[in-house]
Amino acid sequence: MKALFTLFIATAWLTPSLAYAQASHHSVVHDTKTLPSEILGGERNYAIYLPPSYQTSQRSYPVLYLLHGGGDDQTGWVQFGEVQHIADKAIANGTATPMVIVMPDANTGRRGYFNDIRGGWNYEDFFFKEFIPYIEKNYRVKSDKRYRAVAGLSMGGGGSFMYALHHPEVFSSACPLSASTGPLNLDDAKRRYNRPRRNEPDVKVEPVADEKIDEYLQQHSALKLVENLPADDIKSVRWYIDCGDDDFLYEGNSLVHIAMRKREIPHEYRVRDGGHRWSYWRSALPTVLSFVSESFHQN
């Protein structure tokens, strides 16, 4: 009886965090957690979805990095994307496996997921050297390529392309939605990289030499990377690319599809009815969760 008695006392000592565990058969979302970053200097926000079983179990989970678009922040997929409702439903249906979904903020300081062409702001370095390690240290997530996926919309679709193309050893699946695929050529790149940044319209930017722009372009255009990287590297990632027939980003995504077909890189490609809007991405998310689960599940 002693042991049982102690158990009951223990129950009385429940800490608040334990309290969550009691309610643990439901998923948990935080929309504003923070981590320190030396690379970017200061605190960075992220949101996180923990699946229904996370609090009660002691297992580890696969992880999806889900990137927001320009103008949003880490709360976008939570508020507009209904990530909790959609992931809960997909997991309950069995169309997706329980996974942790991590949504970093790429709106603070500079907007975007890349290292800046002019240096001094290395978001991509932060993402791979600080953010992923932080998540893998602080949450019960698996840390093999197989168990990591990246997806995102618009600017975050561009991030999905770039992260998986630059680091095919990190992700098993990549799902760019309505992705900004980057400049299509040098002229386009010169125009874009030499204009003021969207969220710093008054800060004059230093012109960059054409040679450097071209070099940067080769590394930050999904089309160039798909055309030029070793095919086996690209093939080691499973691709799900989706861009609506009314989306203004139709051209880059159509050309990436053509380029992948010409290099015989397996990929799922969808053009559905719709434009560059949240209704499109909400309706894409269930398929994304199912698609990345196929890697996690190892069919």
Within 265-294, which residues bind its own copies (CB under 8 A)?
267-273, 277-279, 282
Q: What is the rounded CA–CA span in Å between residue 175 and residue 288?
A: 7
Q: Tell me the sheet residues that pair with 152.
A: 67, 176
In the complex, the smallest distance separating the C-beta of residue 211 from its own copies, rounded to whole angstroms, is 29
In the complex, the smallest distance separating the C-beta of residue 267 from its own copies, rounded to whole angstroms, is 7
For its own copies, give the closer residue by CB, 65 or 147. 147
Instruction: Identify residues 24-83 at the interface with its own copies (CB under 8 A).
Output: 24-33, 47, 52-53, 55-60, 62, 75, 78-80, 82
Alpha carbons within 13 A on the beta-carbon side of 108: 15
Residue owning tokens 């996370």: 54
Are 253 and 181 in contact by the 8 Å Cβ rule? The answer is yes
Q: Does 264 sit near its own copies (CB under 8 A)?
A: no
Q: Which are the contacts of 46, defined by CB distance < 8 A and separation ≥ 6?
A: 33, 34, 35, 74, 102, 103, 104, 105, 131, 135
For its own copies, give the closer residue by CB, 60 or 122. 60
Q: Which are the contacts of 162, defined by CB distance < 8 A and separation ≥ 6?
A: 113, 114, 124, 182, 220, 222, 225
Instruction: Identify residues 93-152 at the interface with its own copies (CB under 8 A).
Output: 94, 97-98, 142, 147
Q: Does 23 sit near its own copies (CB under 8 A)?
A: yes
Kindly indicate which of the ranges 5-13, 167-175, 182-190, 208-216 contains the residues binding its own copies, using the contact rule CB under 8 A. 5-13
Among 65, 47, 57, residue whose Cα is nearest residue 24: 57
Site size with its own copies, rule: CB under 8 A: 81
In the complex, the smallest distance separating the C-beta of residue 54 from its own copies, rounded to whole angstroms, is 11
Among 90, 1, 100, 103, residue whose Cα is nearest residue 45: 103
In the complex, the smallest distance separating the C-beta of residue 120 from its own copies, rounded to whole angstroms, is 31
For its own copies, give the closer residue by CB, 128 or 278. 278
Q: Does 185 sit near its own copies (CB under 8 A)?
A: no
In the complex, the smallest distance separating the C-beta of residue 82 from its own copies, rounded to whole angstroms, is 6
